Structure 1
């Protein structure tokens, strides 16, 4: 799910959630806080999470630079960020999943002109959707489920939680970034995504009370995003008991992103290889190193679709690499042979900065490395592969775990 946003003016400081927090030392150079299981996240921990999410985002999840701007703006305004383990929820609590939905492709000139002519009263449609759903169900949410682990998607979830004074759960619905709402752990677990709150930057608010078929969520909400440039969404208003059930959410994904980001930061400070540090922190695989030799992009029904091609360097000199993209990397081939596919993670990293590259942000000649990581086990179930496998996206390729292809 790709996400774009505009910044909210007149920020307010979140209060209450941190009133009784006590600070503790992590031993990793970061000061955190605890309050009945909650952890307070400082600027370093947040930056680590964003960098780590650029590795787990598999080329999607929105701009890393915009994510950094959003978090910096929130910190400057005095917002406080907390993270809560799923196990700390009460059974009767409710939590929900806010995220932004949009195409990574450029808006056409005609559509852009039409949108620019409309007064734009809503600067944070994701928050507007979250609050609309709260009003609809008549209960305040106890926490925010991360929609996916990608830079701007993650930043928006963290920002929404901080803005509302509630913690962000150490969990998301994917464990990475994905093209469609159908790749959603709550849906795979057999729970309804409805009711769903939706809001646009133009003051439109909607509640999708029921769906005739669960797959209609993607069609309906994507169409709103296409005609509105972006759409704030909040779905899956599940109970604490449902959230804690095995297989409902991808747990500890926020901690994993922070762990990878911290490894990158510490490697850069020590003059070591940040890509290798990230690979080790995520227990992943080095799939390729090289330079960007070419890429092709097009907009298909609101999705960024294309291919990135690399020419090998170092141990991969003389070899070739190509990755097929639908917002995120789906299928990777080395020398024409499949080396990794969704739902496992394929990420292209800029060697100079140590940041994951968000599609379509490539330059010819750019020095890059490609990492692969194992997906969460829930995606390897029959229900998971039914909506998140190469065949689901139209490839005549069976899913084979990355450890078998790249190990």
Structure 2
């Protein structure tokens, strides 16, 4: 069943996807504004379940890539990813029947809606990460056999680079270099695929999940954690659980090779008093350790919430003195296969940890 996405739904998707985005995916406020502007100008967008795609439908995902801290300073017009999509269409001699997110976090949960509104296309209710990850090969599309190229990368000046590679790791390496040359943030269309490939490789229902999470948080008043638990309990993910509560006492960040690397240290409060949690991130939160022992790692979701308001906090907004709650959400089964863990398990990010799936909330 298709759903119409207007301005109010974009607000909810942006909020919910910030929870699913595990601190990354680009500034959700920027993506929300770009999508709302496009919808106000061109009309609402159809959210299309992947099982309603025809086998030979042509789907081109669209996204922003680069360092989240840079995207706040280099604001897009909303046309950039359309330029990338149209370059792929010209290359393949085919017109897109739909677009979709490559990840369901931050700006990349809402930016495809701006592309869709401008082009009069539906957005497929699915993505290739089930969260946000920092690199283009971190996709179920890649893991399960879809080529990422031809891909196109564009900037706010109208420059476009077409990329064709033998493998998807090389796509990430080249596209990241182009993005750095374009000022640290750019707009990409990649993994062009058929409707059949979407059904076989994408994580279904993630935009609906983001919308439902956002709406639940908006209506939750003082009990954000219960709202998140209720929505995730009914999803293909695991039920959210609280991992730690405390006060941020240190944040370290550095922008390098087109990413934001760093960590945040949190001193425990209440039941966690006397302990310290460290969260390591590369654009997104990768691992959370309490007193030196990991309690959650990729690919499971690690999200920092404001302890008072329940609002999710992106990595670029973490600040000394903030009182926070850290929650964990287990990823869907398609993201926990041996093939998937080879691509985005803890070792792929240099974490000295063995992946242990989070249990549901007791």
So what's the TM-score if we normalise by structure 1? 0.82
Residue deviations 1:31-58 (CA, integer Å, cap 9, x gap): xxxxxx4211233322111111010000
Classify the secondary structure of the residue corresponding to 2:316.
Answer: coil
Does residue 166 of structure 2 align to residue 200 of structure 1?
Answer: no
Classify the secondary structure of the residue corresponding to 1:202.
Answer: coil
Where does residue 143 of structure 2 map in the other structure?
188
Does residue 311 of structure 2 align to residue 368 of structure 1?
Answer: no
Deviation for aligned residue 1:124? 2.7
Q: 2-side partners of 1:315 and 1:171: how far apart?
A: 38
Give the 3 Å change call, closer, same or farther, for CA 284–239 of structure 1 in structure 2.
same
Aligned-residue CA RMSD (Å): 2.1
Where does residue 56 of structure 2 map in the other structure?
92
Does residue 233 of structure 2 align to residue 249 of structure 1?
Answer: no
Q: 2-side partners of 1:191 and 1:78: how far apart?
A: 31
Q: 1-side partners of 2:293 and 2:210: how far apart?
A: 29
In 1, are the aligned partners of 2:32 and 2:111 still within 8 Å (CA)? no
Classify the secondary structure of the residue corresponding to 1:197.
Answer: strand
Residue deviations 1:361-401 (CA, integer Å, cap 9, x gap): 12211121111111121221121111101111122221111
Classify the secondary structure of the residue corresponding to 2:326.
Answer: strand
Q: 1-side partners of 2:146 and 2:209: how far apart?
A: 25
Where does residue 331 of structure 1 map in the other structure?
287
Where does residue 259 of structure 1 map in the other structure?
212
Where does residue 402 of structure 1 map in the other structure?
358
- Alignment match of 1:219 (pick from 163, 173, 189): 173
Structure-to-structure mapping, 1:7-406, within 5 angstroms: 37-106=1-70, 124-209=79-164, 211-229=165-183, 230-245=185-200, 248-268=201-221, 272-282=222-232, 283-403=239-359
Residue deviations 1:107-155 (CA, integer Å, cap 9, x gap): 9xxxx9xxx9xxx998632111011111221221111121111121111
Residue deviations 1:181-230 (CA, integer Å, cap 9, x gap): 11111110012111112222233222223x13321011100001111122
In 2, are the aligned partners of 1:61 and 1:153 still within 8 Å (CA)? yes
Q: 2-side partners of 1:121 and 1:103: how far apart?
A: 14
Count of aligned positions: 354
In 2, are the aligned partners of 1:122 and 1:200 still within 8 Å (CA)? no
Q: 1-side partners of 2:270 and 2:283: how far apart?
A: 29
Residue deviations 1:243-302 (CA, integer Å, cap 9, x gap): 122xx001001111111111111112xxx3113311332221111111211111112211
Q: 1-side partners of 2:298 and 2:26: how far apart?
A: 19
Q: 1-side partners of 2:307 and 2:27: how far apart?
A: 18
Q: 2-side partners of 1:219 and 1:353: how far apart?
A: 39
Where does residue 235 of structure 2 map in the other structure?
none
Deviation for aligned residue 1:106? 4.9
Any stretches of 5+ residues in structure 1 without a counterpart?
Answer: 1-36
Classify the secondary structure of the residue corresponding to 2:100.
Answer: strand
Where does residue 15 of structure 1 map in the other structure?
none
Q: 1-side partners of 2:26 and 2:87: how far apart?
A: 24
Where does residue 29 of structure 1 map in the other structure?
none
Classify the secondary structure of the residue corresponding to 2:99.
Answer: strand
Give the 3 Å change call, closer, same or farther, for CA 352–77 of structure 1 in structure 2.
farther
Any stretches of 5+ residues in structure 2 without a counterpart?
Answer: 233-238
In 2, are the aligned partners of 1:333 and 1:340 still within 8 Å (CA)? yes
Q: 1-side partners of 2:48 and 2:269: how far apart?
A: 42
Q: 2-side partners of 1:134 and 1:38: how far apart?
A: 25
In 2, are the aligned partners of 1:329 and 1:346 still within 8 Å (CA)? yes
In 1, are the aligned partners of 2:303 and 2:326 still within 8 Å (CA)? yes
